[in-house]
Amino acid sequence: LQVVRRAGGRLFTRSPVTRILLEAWQAVGVQLATGEQVRAARVIHNGGPARLRRLVGEENLPADYRARLRSLKDVPCGALVLGLREPLFPEVPMLLTPGARRVVGIFAPTFFDPTLAPPDRHQVDVFFPLESEDRRAELARVWEDLRTLFPRLDALVEVAVPMLFTGGWTGAESGQYVGQTGEARLSPQTPIEGLYLVGMDLQGSAVAGDIVPLGVRRLLEVLA
Ligand SMILES: Cc1cc2nc3c(=O)[nH]c(=O)nc-3n(C[C@H](O)[C@H](O)[C@H](O)COP(=O)(O)OP(=O)(O)OC[C@H]3O[C@@H](n4cnc5c(N)ncnc54)[C@H](O)[C@@H]3O)c2cc1C
């Protein structure tokens, strides 16, 4: 934030953008929910492809790009956040679980930053795709997987909070499917002059949030 301020930038928090402003097919700024318009030489969108379509207006996007954005498959997915008395896997920050029926990966944020949990407590985020509308059944399968993977699980869990994402989380809008990974993801450049993208949907091959800095680096290369 200091870097932005030192460079003469302004920060707007709790200020949803309602429109990306275009003039002569060029992005010239954004409109905030307050009605205020913020002019800028470049607009960098971090809100995912579905919001991009809404904020720019579908009618303002070239047909092939509109079709490209629409073709991206979302991934209805969920996370089960667990508060634990002991780490589930103390030696690594992340566990991929290809043999499990529903759980695909488990991340341990407190591996790197123990202050995210109270003293002597630990957090893991368990990720899984949602394969039906029956959320109770989906969660039951996740618990089955976890109990198979960690037979002592029930003795360790103090808190369990499920979070279900069906398009609301940016990272869920263009899932890492076959045909939708690596270079097949979105370019930081859009067909609209002055409008660029960053975030989870950009080109790059990585797991979860690791893909975000790769996209930022690509954008910096484009802007250099
Ligand atoms: C529960 C959970 C646990 C996770 N754990 C891990 C982990 O352990 N390790 C890991 O690497 N990744 C993890 N991830 C994934 C990681 O959070 C995402 O990959 C990453 O946040 C995606 O970054 P992004 O910048 O693309 O999108 P986001 O972080 O979603 O940022 C988009 C931002 O745009 C803002 N926005 C949206 N619309 C507007 C608007 N109209 N106007 C203004 N602002 C707007 C949103 O408020 C949001 O701040 C986790 C995700 C979840 C949900």
Q: Which atom of ligand 1 is nearest to the CA of 55?
A: 41
Tokens describing residue 104: 């695909």
Average pLDDT over residues 82-88: 97
The CATH number of the domain covering residues in 2-73+172-223: 3.50.50.60
Ligand 1 is surrounded, with C-beta below 6 A, by 16-17, 46-47, 51, 79, 107, 109, 125, 163, 169-171, 199-200, 208-210, 212
**Residue 215 scores a pLDDT above 80:** yes
Average pLDDT over residues 54-80: 93
| pLDDT reported for residue 170 | 63
Residue extent(s) of CATH 3.90.660.50 domains in the chain: 77-165
Average pLDDT over residues 88-94: 95
| pLDDT reported for residue 165 | 80
Residue extent(s) of CATH 3.50.50.60 domains in the chain: 2-73+172-223
| pLDDT reported for residue 167 | 61
Q: Which atom of ligand 1 is nearest to the CA of 108?
A: 8
| pLDDT reported for residue 169 | 67
Distance CA 162, CA 50 (A): 24
The CATH number of the domain covering residues in 77-165: 3.90.660.50
* Locus of tokens 């003039």: 23
Q: What is the ipTM of this complex?
A: 0.95
Pairing of strands 195-197, 43-45: parallel
